[in-house]
Amino acid sequence: MEQELNHPPSLKNPFISCLFCRYRGFTLFLTFLFYTAYHLSRKPISIVKSELHRNCSTVIRPADLNITDNATWCDWAPFGESVTELFETQDHLVSYFFGIFGERLPLRYYLSAGMLLSGLFTCLFGFGYYWNIHSIWYYGFVQAMNGLMQTTGWPAVVACVGNWFGKGKRGFIMGVWNSHTSVGNILGSLIAGVFVSSAWGMSFIVPGIIIASTGILCFFFLVEKPEDVNCTPPQHHVSYIHVPGVVEFSLCLLFAKLVSYTFLYWLPLYISNVAHFEAKEAGDMSTLFDVGGIMGGIMAGLVSDYTGGRATTCGVMLLAAAPMLFLYNYIGQRSIGTTIGMLLLCGGLVNGPYALITTAVSADLGTHESLRGNARALSTVTAIIDGTGSIGAALGPLLAGLISPSGWNNVFYMLISADVLACLFLSRLVYKEVKGWCGRAPRQRG
């Protein structure tokens, strides 16, 4: 029977063990803070889009304003529905390159530069409001560069955490840690919502300052691996029933992120249109989806640690998410209580598998014995898995924009289909995990 070792033998010395635990806890806290800032600065566009591209028929027109288009006079040129959709997809298409590039650089410098530059470009987007800029080239360039900088975050923070933690409780630890995604979305929605109706530029500038500040913290305080402070790294063992499945998990994540990011960017507008909430109220209500995501990620980590079945845990949650999305679309807006309950439930089932694959599964595969101790390879494996998922993150909001004019029902049918496909791509791994459990069961005599 295989023994799981989360601490190396040298940590039996109480003093060294205490020092290791302090550094490990501090690294976990810092990387949580860093990726919270990444998502916090990514969220404003989904909140502000309803202000940039408005329903002008409901807005009182100034008497001295000479207009030629009654439908778009109140928009902030050059923004229209198709432009905001395009900007939402730009962040997700370069994860492969930057993840592999990050493998070859010190993670502390790589993360610090990424956060500082992301903060700069996020602020520049907001400055367009105060500088009265209406050029599509300005906003397009700023958002494209911000998208490049945003992709520096995920492979690097997963590599840092993977350097400090063995596999024993990785699912639970990373399930809790991965709540940074939802915490960042919640804080980003709330901060952007404060300024969206009065001065939308501040909805970008404040998050930009926050992520730039965390970049400074990273430069001075991040310890990227135990060897940097004379600690022995944890040993990474893989259970015999856990079979590497980079291709399967990557394709599953493509469709899981398609669903998750469609909700990330379109849920506030959906709530505003269907439930007739104001922009700020819709943004605040949409944060419940992320609260559910926190609980779902933790639950997925706990269950997968206990059972040893990463793929099975993801498959069951994805299968359950499909009918819940159908119910949310049809009964989710009947009452405030139903809305809250369905948002929490859907958030947990949609984001739970996404969180597990991008954290514990990526770390498991990145520290697999076949890589022969090459810890740096964790960044590349994470980039491959998350990069494939980023294709779905780009396609989801774009498809929603193309489909939504035909009705929100069709958008939800697209999301349900994506959930089912994500589940199907894991079927081989689920079969192997179940077969492994059955093989370990005691045999009956006689």
Output the pLDDT for position 6: 47
- pTM, 2 dp: 0.75
CA atoms within 13 A on the CB side of 46: 33
Q: Specify the amino acid at residue 171.
A: G
- Alpha-carbon torsion angle 421, 425, 428, 429, nearest 10: -120
Q: Tell me how far apart the alpha carbons of residues 102 and 167 are, in angstroms, rounded to a whole number.
A: 23
- Tell me the C-alpha distance between 364 and 136, whole Å: 43
Rounded CA-CA distance 389/252 in Å is 8
pLDDT at position 372 is 52
Which residues are CB-contacts of 192 (< 8 A; sequence separation ≥ 6)?
A: 43, 44, 47, 48, 203, 204, 207, 283
Q: What are the φ/ψ torsions at residue 166 (nearest 5 degrees)?
A: -75, -175
pLDDT at 376: 56
d(CA 264, CA 246): 25
Sole residue written with tokens 């948002």: 343
CB contact at 8 A, 260 and 39: no
Q: Which residues contact 251 (CB under 8 A, 6 or more apart)?
A: 388, 422, 425
Task: For residue 423, give Cα distances in angstroms to 42, 318, 322.
Answer: 27, 6, 10
The verdict on whether omega for the bond into residue 78 sits within 30 degrees of 0, i.e. cis, is yes
Q: Which CATH number fits domain 14-439: 2.60.40.3950, 3.40.640.10, 3.30.750.210, 1.20.1250.20?
A: 1.20.1250.20
> For the chain, which residues make up each domain, given as ranges?
14-439
Please compute, for residue 108, the number of CA atoms within 13 A of its CA located in the half-sphere on the CB side: 12
Q: Is 443 exposed, middle or buried (0-12, 13-18, 19+ CB in 10 A)?
A: exposed
CA dist., res. 44 & res. 283, Å (int): 10
199 in helix, strand or coil? coil
20-52 exposure pattern, b = at least 16 Cβ within 10 A, e = fewer: beebbeebbebbbbbbbbbbbbbbbbbbbbbbb
- Which residues of the chain carry a pLDDT beneath 70? 1-17, 53-104, 166-170, 234-244, 363, 365-379, 440-446
